[in-house]
Amino acid sequence: MRIPTSHRHADAGTIDQAMTPMIDVVFLLLIFFVCASVGQTADALLPTELAAGGIAAELPPIEPQEIERLWMKLLRQGDQTVAELNGTVHPNLDDVSAVLVGLQDAGVTAEMPVVLDVGSEVPMGDAIRVYDECLTAGFTTINFAAGK
């Protein structure tokens, strides 16, 4: 018996027979995806809930910030002591006692700390006077700010 030395060449019929199952698979996948997408909703038709009346969004109301402490600076301007209470300047120390009593009437608690920042040129008598006015207004925690 003789062993063949050359390979047989495949004829054209066998190549077509190998492609037929692959074409069938691709066709079946195409039919599957078409049938599977029939029940889908188109993206352009999705329901959305839009705010009525415009584009602007309603913002929540801004709540006033609570004051953590009353910061009072005592400064000397010329021959007069000026008090600055949380950024508001009071040129007369007599006004400070009325403001402190008004804060107590407005609902500021007596436990809120008062910080006295006394300038170096302010007379000690004015610092003690403001300290006493804070006590008279009902504040229980009064601190002095330390310098650098």
Q: How many domains does the chain have?
A: 1
- The whole domain housing 96 covers 70-144
pLDDT at 30: 93
* Residue 96 located in a structural domain: yes
* Residue 43 located in a structural domain: no
CATH number at residue 94: 3.30.420.270
Per-residue pLDDT tens over the stretch 75-106: 999 889 999 988 888 888 888 888 888 877 77
Q: How far apart are CA 87 and CA 96, in angstroms?
A: 13
* Residue 9 located in a structural domain: no
pLDDT at 73: 92
* Residue 56 located in a structural domain: no
Beginning with the edge strand found earlier in the chain, give each strand of the sheet holding 80-85 in spatial order.
88-90, 80-85, 70-77, 114-118, 142-144
* Residue 91 located in a structural domain: yes
For the chain, what is the mean pLDDT?
A: 80
* Residue 11 located in a structural domain: no
Q: How far apart are CA 106 and CA 103, in angstroms?
A: 5
* Residue 88 located in a structural domain: yes
Q: How far apart are CA 49 and CA 46, in angstroms?
A: 10
3-state DSSP percent of the chain in helix, strand and coil, to 5: 35, 15, 45
* Residue 47 located in a structural domain: no
Per-residue pLDDT tens over the stretch 2-19: 776 666 655 555 666 778
